[in-house]
Chains A and B, each alone.
Chain A
Amino acid sequence: MSSIVPRGKTPPLAADDLPQAVKILVAGGFGTGKTTLVSTISEITPFHTEETLTRASIGIDDTSGVELKATTTVAMDFGRITLRDRLDLFLFGTPGQDRFWFMWDELAAGALCAVVLVDTRRLPVSFPSIDYFERRRLPFVVAVNSFSGSRAYPVETVRAALDLNPDVPVVMCDARQRRSVKDLLISALEHALAIEERAAAREKTS
């Protein structure tokens, strides 16, 4: 017989009383400002968590040269914003290594949209993120992070260099400024909403 003690005087919470969570992914190559962006807007000190790769998952991942390692960890940073009572937005910085696609798949499942940060001095580091979201059809915007000392390029130049689909928004941002990050997240959500609404309209007419 179990002897679980019912919790004090508090009635048990119904599942709907628990907060509903939504998430937005923050991607881009190494050093594009993902961690900075998450820290700028998160109301909690961004957390750092890890997932362990066992030998089994290493087997299906191409990690030639590391066969001798029994376990390895992949780290993620995330932050949270309470939008209203029982609605929380999570921001996940994607793992920096492009080989961790299995982790990206888990992060992307159910995500509202994504932001791909680019540094105009090193555009190619963000290519894999763009390819990934295009393949996965997750709505995303490209954010040109303005680093001090980096040259400002017109948005159209960046768009052409990244060979983006014309309806993917390209916006400028400063990952250190809360207002700028907030506007960026709003652009990404508006883009996602427009795509969802178009899809809903198509379903209606078909």
Chain B
Amino acid sequence: MSDSDWVDDGPLVRPYALVRGRTRARHDVFDLVAFVVALVDTLQGWIHIEPEHTRLLILCRKPVSVSELSAGTNLPIGVVRVLLGDLLDMGAIRVREPSERPSPQLIREVLTGLRAL
């Protein structure tokens, strides 16, 4: 990470055309560390399917986090969220959001796991 990471790489025509100008997912889900998993094999039969929907679906055949989906597709997080929202509407994925406020019990579990590393 460096201050030169403030990069202007020009208009992001492709990603934002892809989500047809939508910048917010309709669902208030998809935290950076939410886990997503595919429930279906294909998106056959649905209209308005972009290749990126299918790419995301393939990447989440095993549970994967939203951040890793963004890194894996090279798409900005905002775009990934909109596309995942489409997939959720189609019933094609399931999502697990992280807890909003970690409990002492959860912190203890993390400590146990870290100490065992």
Contacts and interface: CB of A to CB of B under 8 A. Distances in A.
Given A5-B42, A89-B110, A110 B94 contact: no
A66 to B, nearest CB: 8
A113 to B, nearest CB: 8
Interface residues of B, number: 65
Interface residues of A, number: 69
Contacts of B107: 112, 189, 192-193, 196
Contacts of B36: 18
Given A22-B98, A89-B110, A5 B6 contact: no
A197 to B, nearest CB: 6
A160 interface: no
Contacts, number: 193
Contacts of B1: 30, 34-35, 75-77, 93, 95-96
A189 B92 contact: no
Contact of B98 (A50, A75, A76, A110): A110
A185 B114 contact: yes
Interface of B: 1-3, 5-12, 15, 23, 31-46, 63, 65, 67-68, 70-72, 76-79, 90-92, 94-96, 98-104, 106-117
15 contacts: A2-B45, A20-B99, A21-B33, A23-B32, A69-B8, A72-B8, A74-B5, A75-B7, A78-B32, A83-B112, A87-B109, A92-B32, A112-B107, A193-B111, A200-B104
Interface of A: 1-8, 12-13, 15-16, 18-23, 30-31, 34-35, 44, 47-52, 54, 56, 69-78, 80-81, 83-84, 87-90, 92-93, 95-97, 106-107, 109-110, 112, 182, 185-186, 189-190, 192-193, 196-197, 200
